Amino acid sequence: MSKRDKLIERLLSKPTDFSFGELTTLLGRFGYSIQSSGLTGGSRISFANDENDYIRIHKPHPRNELLPYQINDIISALLERSLI
């Protein structure tokens, strides 16, 4: 099983400790990268791929773990795009 498959499996299990770093790694394996939003971008993060498809999420702070609704949003976004 590849690292991407393990991350997908972990995401789908909806753990309470899925980190923003893990999300960045997973989306990076699907061709998404963090887009710079300037100095006043705040905690709203956009991940974009080469086709200008965006996945947006609030960066968790002060903790590093995603909240349950964020995990659900990411799963829905990946399912809509037929990536998982």
The amino acid occupying position 76 is S
Average pLDDT over residues 29-51: 80
| DSSP calls for 40-79 | T-TTEEEEE-TT--EEEEEPP-SSSBPPHHHHHHHHHHHH
- pLDDT surpasses 90 at 78: yes
Looking at per-residue confidence, does 75 or 42 come out higher? 75
- pLDDT surpasses 90 at 11: yes
d(CA 59, CA 71): 12
Say what the pLDDT of residue 37 is. 67
